[in-house]
Amino acid sequence: MKRLLAYLFIVLAYMDENVSQKAAEQGREQNPSLAGDPDKVLMSYR
């Protein structure tokens, strides 16, 4: 679970930096975020 949270933080940081930058290049403002139930399983490996 800790590893999954670490990956989510990495993805959020990437989105925040890159999506905001690309939006600014196009004269827009966009700040992505993650939403939902953090206890819900999105996928699992067997």
Is the predicted pLDDT of residue 15 greater than 90, yes or no? no
pTM as predicted: 0.50
Stretch 12-21: mean pLDDT, rounded? 83
Closest listed residue to residue 13, CA positions, set 25, 31, 39, 36: 31
pLDDT in tens, 26-38: 999 887 777 778 7
For residue 18, the number of C-alpha atoms closer than 13 Å in the C-beta half-sphere is 6
Closest listed residue to residue 16, CA positions, set 35, 6, 30, 28: 30
Stretch 3-25: mean pLDDT, rounded? 84
